[in-house]
Structure 1
Amino acid sequence: MKLPFSKKEKQPKLKQRKKVKIKTVGKRKKSVVLLWILLLSSIAFGIYKNFTAIDQHTIHEREVVQANIIDTTAIESFTENFVKEYYSWENESEALEERTEKLADYLTEELQAINIDMIREDIPTSSSVQNINIWSVSEETENNYSVVYSVQQKITEEKDSSFTNATYRIVLHQDEQENLVITQNPTMWSQPNKSNFVPEQAENNGTVESATEQEVTAFLEAFFTSYPTATDQELAYYVKDNILPPIEKKYIFSELVNSVYQELDGQIKVWVTVSYLDETTKAKQLSQYEFIIEKDTNWMIVE
């Protein structure tokens, strides 16, 4: 049995740990200063961007096309005056010389030279303009306009006369003072013809009851009987907000033609042709209307 160690006995020595050397970086070293500068700069820049950041939104661009309204009154009047002179002549040398002088007020010098031989001195016909129709005026380039027109001429040769119609196109220039000159000679063109468009026809769709149809018909007959001679005050009983103007004509109501009624959100949509007899011309006058009526204390045209 082992006895406990006495105080004097040597205790076994504990193994001492090796000290780990810790390398400290001095606060004043250049590399540390540089790192601090970068860190602080990053923080400052982030704060700056946060306060000055611009919100980004999706921008939907919309192109706005503005209609360029051109006053064509001067161009049309200039064209009509030119047509009267250009397509009129007599088979007399003096009249032909006068015509040439008048055309100088409309044509460039180049076009005057081109047209000098248009009408020969020995021409056997004379011509007078009977009618002019201007079909279109359009801007070709800045200050240059094309005009399409038709002209009807009466051609006389000796004792015989005939009528001719033709369509032409010219080009005019308008300067800053709004003066005009023709820069392209009358050139054969096509006249607008009748379109094949057929509008959709309204039909009764059964949404208006028979009794209501009779009421509406009676209202319309009463209104259109008095309408031609009705004053503003009288119209106010039938029409809201002056939707239909007073006409003050001697028309005698005849009948309603092709009346169509459709119920629409408590109102009645009406399509109707009204037949009148014109006391002045003794001819039948057919007017077509499309409006909305509703009933409060009485039926009234409201839209």
Structure 2
Amino acid sequence: MKIKLERKEKLSKVKKVPILKVGTHKKMTTTLWILLLTSIAFGVYKNFTTIDQHTTHEKEVIEQRVIDTNKIESFSQNFISVFYSWEHNQKVLDQRTEKLKDYLTEELQVLNVDMVRTDIPTNSTVESIQFWDVKPIDKNNFEVLFTVNQDITEQKKKQTTHSAYTLTIHVDDKENMVIIKNPTISSIPTKSNYKTKRSDSDGTVDARTTEEIDSFLKTFFTLYPKANEKELSYYVNNKALKPVNREYQFWELASSNYSLKNNQVDAQISVKYLDLLTKATQISEFNLTLQKFDNWIIIK
């Protein structure tokens, strides 16, 4: 008897891996995007705000006040005429003291009370006044630099003195004025030691061209004083020189220096004329640029 054994293979059970299903949750996603974009926008805003704060400059607005310096000079001139004039006479000195009240503060009136006394043997008159500068110190105060020439007479001796002073004037908001600083000795500008640098001919213009230019300029400057605009147009472009209409007689080219640059000649010349009215010699200096087309022309 045969026994048949059948083996049944056990099928292994495979466990199923649980799958987590995530829904889109659209509302929550939208909210998160909004928060993200808001954060980015806020960060950008703060960044630009910070830059703006660092680059912002405070501007101080200064109120400018325009003062007519002619008024200051007129006020000063009237004061100077009184202050530097006197006579060896008590009545005249009293009148002078009274007039100065119209210009000086009370403190300065007291300070100057003994400036001129009856025992001083001189008389003084103001011969001339010249103003050199009216300089603002601040909004209401101005420093005035001036010179005054006085004719001083002592007995029968007369001489002229020339002096420079500064004084300070206060101008209120209604443009009324008062002198707040006494005339103080000063100095005025004198002649400068500056010397002009006159260029010499540098050899770029040859002898033949120099002779041509000399001849052209002599002809031109002979006609120039009385030439009208049409006549000048034959010698001058772009109205580089305008009519002068004067009674000048050409004498000579006193000096001339020529330099060639880019087909143009720079000329520094001195022209000597006789003034037929005054009979004096008049020397004019010109800086010209010439160029040759068919003929030589002054272009500037």
1:194 alignment counterpart: 191
Output the CA distance in 1 between the equivalents of 2:296 and 2:142.
52
**Pick from 10, 15, 20: which aligns with 2:12?**
15
Sequence identity (%): 40
8 Å CA contact 2:65, 2:139 repeated in 1: no
1:78 alignment counterpart: 75
Whether 1:182 and 2:184 are equivalent positions in the alignment is no
1:87 alignment counterpart: 84
Q: Which moved more, 1:111-120 or 1:154-163?
A: 111-120
**Pick from 22, 36, 42: which aligns with 2:36?**
42
Output the CA distance in 1 between the equivalents of 2:99 and 2:288.
53
1:274 alignment counterpart: 271
Tell me the alpha carbon deviations over residues 231-259 of structure 1, each in whole angstroms, 9 at most, x when there is no partner. 33333333334433433333322222231
Question: Which amino acid is 2:155 matched to?
Answer: E
Output the CA distance in 1 between the equivalents of 2:75 and 2:243.
37
Question: TM-score if structure 1 supplies the norm length?
Answer: 0.78
Deviation at 1:273, TM superposition (A): 1.6
Whether 1:138 and 2:132 are equivalent positions in the alignment is no
Output the CA distance in 2 between the equivalents of 1:96 and 1:232.
63
Output the CA distance in 2 between the equivalents of 1:69 and 1:223.
48
Question: Which amino acid is 1:257 matched to?
Answer: A
Counting matched residue pairs gives 285
* TM-align CA RMSD: 3.5
Whether 1:299 and 2:296 are equivalent positions in the alignment is yes
Deviation at 1:290, TM superposition (A): 1.3
Output the CA distance in 2 between the equivalents of 1:129 and 1:197.
34
Output the CA distance in 1 between the equivalents of 2:40 and 2:108.
75
Output the CA distance in 1 between the equivalents of 2:246 and 2:175.
42
Alpha carbons of structure 1 residues 104 and 292: separation in structure 2 relative to 1, 3 Å: farther
Output the CA distance in 2 between the equivalents of 1:171 and 1:240.
52
Deviation at 1:278, TM superposition (A): 2.7
Output the CA distance in 1 between the equivalents of 2:75 and 2:224.
42
Question: Which amino acid is 2:159 matched to?
Answer: S
**Pick from 270, 285, 288: which aligns with 1:288?**
285
